[in-house]
A and B are shown apart, each in its own frame.
Chain A
């Protein structure tokens, strides 16, 4: 994926895109952004599939509007799509709330039935220009051919439409920002505070229907569905604040369009499809490498924790050995064996030596003063916890070592202080050994 991206970036640099290419990229980017800002709210409300549903179910609305007016003018088509979109939302809600069908099944029933109805309506009209493939794949490559002129500049019609939709979406979201925010996170609270979450739901659904139908002709339904869901899901992995998430989502949508275009020209293939793939690729990268929520980051975090635990355990072993006043000192191999003998254990020991908490004396190891102080803190935490378990939970003596062994790494000074307050005269652990100070 990344390799491809670099490859096509190089290709781009060699073959500077033509004006038509710029128009296509701009159309894709603006359309994607207009979908993606709404997507953030769909994803947060756990209604992503509503984007999929509405972009399918506007079809009968379009067909009915055409049948009634016999024209391709944008007004009736938009009205038809809006009605169909709202109907989808309303019927889904009714089936879920009133008939108590599962939410996803309600949605599935409504949008597939409406879509089937749309297909039938369209085949019944003679002489309608309706290309099934076009509905799926769109014809973004043809966008620069249909232009309208604004202030003397010939711009693709699709770009202008997408720009207007983006402006409408942005305006409505800014105007209803706090209502949308509250109802996205806590619909019940929102309603009790006087911002009806239900109304916000329908506002959002109207915007989705409007955006879907406006984007349809230019980019096709795959791209609408992809851009409604994927950039927002990606942004959700990267941002914790709503404002940041919405902006990031729009940015990611635009970036996927540009990236998708570059890849599509490189491989000579369908542009809208490639834009969807690019968005998915960015999601994959975020799922792996997002600093807070990525899989790789989580693996690294876990590995760090495991290393810390093993370093603590090594210090604990060495301290206890000193405490028994045995002259014997551990060799590296013994120490590693004592904490499980895994490669991780060797790594942990190397870390301790690097930190100068453990010193090498020829073949054997010994604690440095700093290492000893750290080990004392740890053993103190361990034995305080053992005392606490015996005194307050009444656990038998032979049941307290294991839990203390697990918890000792997480007892920060604050928690230790409160343990001390609860155990004012603890000088020995339940097994009779000193609690170091």
Chain B
């Protein structure tokens, strides 16, 4: 056996725990059982104390076996309560959690009072986590249980995947869905319990959820998700255990994992807040531009018969849209850059390109208004608002359909823009 320093052992143990908790936690999160880790961690306490009372040994494997027993009992009772009574899952989890934990506290206090105090020190570490007490044998237990869990995940990967995403379909295909489901939960239970002495009750729940949910932000593929969750958990564990400066390892590990979650929340490619904010901003700009162009069209509609570059006044535009002067200025500047209009003093002039864009915006709006009046029976003074909301989202294909539906002769095709005949002979495709 290689002799490791305590710091190295703790770091190795925390990294290992993080990686395995990430993998099994991914299944718990996907099955909508994120809080199962929380419940298991609490329900393990009476088992730990009972195992100690019965055997008198403070050996980690013995205590963990007791913890597993009461943890599984809590899951079983909770499942039965949900299936057989009116109690919903959240209340059943809460009830099992607090009753079992209360029982654990009761038993622990019996142990403390019956034997000269301090004898329960090893048991207390299950409550709060004491990574500093880690023995090499604890590390070996962690490695064995974690390794076994990973092997099971690899062997039953297909089954786990099926049941994680669609348990009803799995059952209808003849898979033992309940058994597979229970196997996943048992893995979560085993990992939660070997992790307890390291990070404590509340924070073990975090180790199950955080790496998995962080990985979920980055990918939609299960394999990638599992590997990512393992990597994130390992990094959080190893870095958190290393922090020091009087910060206890358990909370440091969880806060590292929470930090990784926050970074992912901001930076993730699809669900990340930054990307979403950019999308939102772009959409708002497009909507504002559509509204501006339509206002310009409506204000200058009477001039269009005579000129391609109609003019209107800044204050008319402001009155029409109820925008602040600065907002309108910014919007006009942006459109000026795109060559849709020119601003000179207080007058706003549409360019020929702008006229076409403005006419397009007004056309979309009015088509929707007409459609609402004709087919939804809306009154003419009720359609403007709904058109304001919808016009920006209408894809070209829907516009063509609207045009066809609204043309005077039913069944007639949507009109084509005038295309001049080609000035040179074009090749007809061979029939």
**Chain A residues at the B interface, C-beta cutoff of 8 Å:** 43, 46-49, 51-52, 56, 99-102, 104-105, 107-109, 112-113, 115-117, 119-120, 123-124, 132-133, 136-137, 222-223, 225-226, 228-230, 232-233, 236-237, 264, 267-270, 272-277, 279-281, 283, 287, 290, 293-295, 298
Q: Nearest Cβ in chain B — how far from A413, in angstroms?
A: 31
Chain A residues contacting B203 (CB-CB under 8 Å) are 112, 115-116
| Contact, CB under 8 Å: A109 / B213 | yes
CA distance in complex: A120, B203 (Å)? 12
**Chain B residues at the A interface, C-beta cutoff of 8 Å:** 29, 32-35, 37-38, 81, 84-88, 90-95, 97-110, 113, 124, 127-128, 202-203, 205-206, 208-210, 213, 216-217, 246-248, 250-252, 254-255, 258, 261, 265, 271, 273
CA distance in complex: A267, B107 (Å)? 10
Chain A residues contacting B213 (CB-CB under 8 Å) are 101, 105, 109
CA distance in complex: A298, B81 (Å)? 13
CA distance in complex: A202, B247 (Å)? 33
CA distance in complex: A344, B417 (Å)? 83
Looking at B29, B202, B247, which has the most chain A CB atoms within 10 Å of its CB? B202
| Contact, CB under 8 Å: B106 / A270 | yes
Chain B residues contacting A298 (CB-CB under 8 Å) are 84
Q: List 27 A-B contacts (CB under 8 A).
A: A48-B90, A48-B93, A49-B38, A49-B90, A49-B94, A102-B34, A108-B37, A108-B205, A112-B205, A112-B210, A113-B261, A116-B203, A116-B250, A222-B101, A226-B99, A236-B87, A237-B86, A237-B87, A267-B110, A269-B110, A272-B102, A276-B99, A276-B101, A280-B102, A283-B99, A293-B86, A298-B84
Please give 11 more A-B residue pairs, beta carbons under 8 A apart, in addition to A99-B273, A269-B106, A277-B103: A109-B206, A109-B210, A116-B202, A116-B258, A226-B98, A226-B99, A233-B94, A233-B95, A274-B106, A277-B102, A280-B99
Q: Nearest Cβ in chain A — how far from B242, in angstroms?
A: 15
Interface of A is mostly: helix
| Contact, CB under 8 Å: B34 / A104 | yes
The one of B38, B102, B108, B261 that contacts A226, using a Cβ cutoff of 8 Å? B102
Known: A120-B251, A236-B91. A276 touches B34 (CB 8 A): no
CA distance in complex: A295, B87 (Å)? 12
CA distance in complex: A113, B209 (Å)? 11
| Contact, CB under 8 Å: B109 / A270 | yes
| Contact, CB under 8 Å: B105 / A268 | no
Q: Which residue of A lies closest to B216 (CB)?
A: A101
Interface of B is mostly: helix
| Contact, CB under 8 Å: A277 / B99 | yes
| Contact, CB under 8 Å: B102 / A116 | no
| Contact, CB under 8 Å: A230 / B95 | yes
Q: Nearest Cβ in chain B — how far from A244, in angstroms?
A: 15
CA distance in complex: A285, B108 (Å)? 25
Chain A residues contacting B106 (CB-CB under 8 Å) are 264, 267, 269-270, 273-274, 277
| Contact, CB under 8 Å: B87 / A287 | yes
Chain A residues contacting B251 (CB-CB under 8 Å) are 115-117, 119-120
Q: Which residue of B lies closest to A225 (CB)?
A: B98
| Contact, CB under 8 Å: B216 / A275 | no
| Contact, CB under 8 Å: A108 / B254 | no
Q: Which residue of B lies closest to A280 (CB)?
A: B99
| Contact, CB under 8 Å: A123 / B93 | no
Known: A230-B95, A236-B91. A109 touches B35 (CB 8 A): no
| Contact, CB under 8 Å: B247 / A233 | no
Looking at A120, A223, A298, which has the most chain B CB atoms within 10 Å of its CB? A120
Known: A49-B93, A49-B94, A229-B94. A269 touches B109 (CB 8 A): yes
Q: Which residue of B lies closest to A294 (CB)?
A: B85
CA distance in complex: A97, B384 (Å)? 30
Chain A residues contacting B101 (CB-CB under 8 Å) are 222, 273, 276
CA distance in complex: A48, B92 (Å)? 9
Q: Nearest Cβ in chain A — how far from B26, in angstroms?
A: 11
| Contact, CB under 8 Å: B102 / A105 | no
| Contact, CB under 8 Å: B247 / A295 | no
